[in-house]
Amino acid sequence: MSRIGKHPVSVPEGVTCQIAGQDIVVKGKNGELTAKASKEVQITLDENGILVRPSDESKQARMLWGTWKNRIRNMVQGVNEGFTVRLEINGVGYRAAVEGKTLKLQLGYSHDILYPIPEGIQIKCDKPTLVAVSGADRQRVGQVAAEIRAYRKPEPYKGKGVKYENEYIVRKEGKKK
């Protein structure tokens, strides 16, 4: 039995949920998210919240039970509060700036990297070395942050590059005489 899936997803005030068959629509102050659930789970809406149950006792249904419960919980949390991933840029001359609908990155290459900001995602640069990626869809926020980080991953000798705010870089000792 899924320990994650057996508890209902609570729906806070200001968030509306509509369930029609396997289609889920969640609306809130940060926008609207939709998803089409797998056939292996049954989704119902009651006064306690959104309840997810497996449609049968197959192994696939039991695996998807907790997955879909968490996906729906992330949708509700995303339209209510939103998600934010912070990136730090380390290195001499490395910086970032938002110019209109693009993120301009200077990461030690001979050219600037222009990253177009996707719809539904907000990127802020409070400092030239701090980038905050935020939005309602947790998967898209994480994907955009991973794409930005992939332009210059942190290296283990000096720690230069783009890293997540809470990421720890295992440092290596340099060359010895």
Q: Could you say which of 3.90.930.12, 3.60.21.10, 3.20.20.20, 3.30.1330.30 is the CATH number of the domain covering 83-164?
A: 3.90.930.12
Averaged confidence pLDDT in the chain: 92
The CATH number of the structural domain formed by 16-80 is 3.90.930.12
Q: Give per-residue pLDDT as tens, 31-44.
A: 999 999 999 999 99
User: Do 16-80 and 83-164 come out as alike in CATH topology?
Assistant: yes
pLDDT at 6: 82
The residue extents of the domains of the chain are 16-80, 83-164
pLDDT at 35: 93
Strand 23-28, strand 31-36: pairing: antiparallel
Q: Give pTM, 2 decimals.
A: 0.89
pLDDT at 3: 77
Percent of the chain with pLDDT strictly greater than 70: 99
Tell me the three-class secondary structure of the chain, residue by residue.
CCCCCCCCECCCCCCEEEEECCEEEEEECCEEEEEECCCCEEEEEECCEEEEEECCCCHHHHHHHHHHHHHHHHHHHHHHCCEEEEEEEECCCCEEEEECCEEEEECCCCCCEEEECCCCEEEEEEECCEEEEEECCHHHHHHHHHHHHHCCCCCCCCCCEEEECCCCCCCCCCCCC
Task: Report the distance separating Cα 76 and Cα 25, nearest Å.
Answer: 10
Task: Report the distance separating Cα 36 and Cα 123, nearest Å.
Answer: 28
- Overall average pLDDT of the 112-135 stretch: 95
pLDDT at 1: 58
Task: Report the distance separating Cα 44 and Cα 75, nearest Å.
Answer: 15
Structure tokens at 83: 């998600």
Q: Give per-residue pLDDT as tens, 149-167.
A: 999 999 999 999 999 999 9
